Amino acid sequence: MFGLFKKESDNIQQNSKTVKRWLKEHDRIKKYAILTLEHYNNDDHKAAKKSLSKLEDAALEHLMDEDNKIFELLDKAKKSDEDLVEELLVFRSSFRDVKHALVHFLITYSHPQKVLDDQFKQQLEGIIQAVVDRIEFEESRLYPLLSH
């Protein structure tokens, strides 16, 4: 794994910074997902739409950053770290369906004219659970490999 960059210490430092940034992004995603649900449950659909918009921004920013970094790490790891390559491939393939569902949900419900209804709530609860499960997977399996 340490052969991903020219210097081992640079690799650890760079990856640790990336992991710290991603952990903060996870906190933002969870915060806005929960706020969206709370506002919806309190029949404040205007506030729910605002929180949903912030969730969309946070989630899409995180997904793009993560995809780019994972692609970069995978490319570099192919030469030196089979364990990391395997974990990165599992990470990428296992998240594909969740990512597609999340993006579809955000695109559908962030549209200004889209009414937030019971189907919205049901889908949001499912998305929240899938995202929480995914975050736990990333933080317990992938991030330790990247930051040590």
Residue-level pLDDT at 112: 86
Residue with tokens 């209804």: 117
Determine the Cα–Cα distance for residues 58 and 60; give it in Å rounded to an integer.
6
Residue-level pLDDT at 56: 96
Residue-level pLDDT at 1: 45
Write out the H or E segment, with its range, that includes residue 10: helix 8-41
pLDDT profile of the chain (148 residues), mean per 10: 51 81 95 97 96 96 88 74 78 83 93 92 94 90 79
pTM: 0.83
- Rounded to whole angstroms, what are the CA distances from 129 to 2, 88, 96, 105, 116? 34, 22, 16, 14, 19
